[in-house]
Amino acid sequence: MIIVLLGPPGSGKGTQAELIRKNFGFYKISIGDMFREAIKREDNIGKKAKRYLATGKLVPDSLVLKMVKREFVSRKGRRNIIFDGFPRNINQARDFNEFLNSVNKKIALVFYFDIPFSILSERLLQRRICPRCGAVYNLGTAPPISHNICDRCGSILAKREDDRAEIVKNRFQVYEKETAPVKKFYSKKEVLVNINSDANEDGIWRLVKKHIDRKFNQEKTK
């Protein structure tokens, strides 16, 4: 079974990807992790990706697709795969669809983690990190014991550069614009499930699990 998870940064899709991996034994393909590993290994693709990331540019679709396909082919015999954060635009979605057709596979479910911008920005703007030890806090939901001081090492907390209001807003708008056609594409194929991400993690997980269980049952009775 192939599952795709889409949603803007901060929508909680990473958490759900991990839950699917652990509970159902899916092989997870996360674009972010994949690039980080390729860069560490310093292989051909890694070197190319590094050049883009170093200059703050988006990695081109062709390179993303090349990596995804390579990872898909070498997935260590696993039948069930989740894609975390891919495809992120319509180009990638179409190309990947053709690729899957060519290997006689198709996507079973696409979860879209939907969250209103006002809530997302509140979540991200309340995030604080410790510049010394890397501990992460949220002033709303997981605050430090004493105001603005790290519980673990006593340093003064800071905002992450890319959690600032303007950057958050811009990132969200770019994301929405790029993924709107992707949602439409999968909705036409009747695999899209919209998840309201403005709920607690357990509730979201129960819903996600229910959809996956149902798909497995359908496949069994085929």
List residues binding Zn ion (CB under 5 A).
130, 132-133, 135, 150, 152-153, 155
Smallest gap from Cβ 134 to Zn ion, in A, equals: 7
Q: Which of 12, 22, 3, 26 is nearest to 201 (CA)?
A: 12
The length of the chain is 222
Smallest gap from Cβ 152 to Zn ion, in A, equals: 5
Say which of 28, 128, 171, 183 is annotated catalytic.
171
Active site residue 160: yes
Active site residue 13: yes
Map residue 2 onto helix, strand or coil: strand
Given a contact cutoff of 8 angstroms between Cβ atoms, the answer to whether 203 and 14 are in contact is no
Active site residue 127: yes
d(CA 47, CA 105): 30
Smallest gap from Cβ 153 to Zn ion, in A, equals: 3
Active site residue 123: no
Say which of 28, 88, 128, 183 is annotated catalytic.
88
| Residue 123 tokens, joined | 């979540």
Active site residue 164: no
Say which of 13, 48, 123, 183 is annotated catalytic.
13
Residue 220: CA count within 13 A, CB half-sphere: 6
Q: Which residues are catalytic?
A: 13, 88, 127, 160, 171
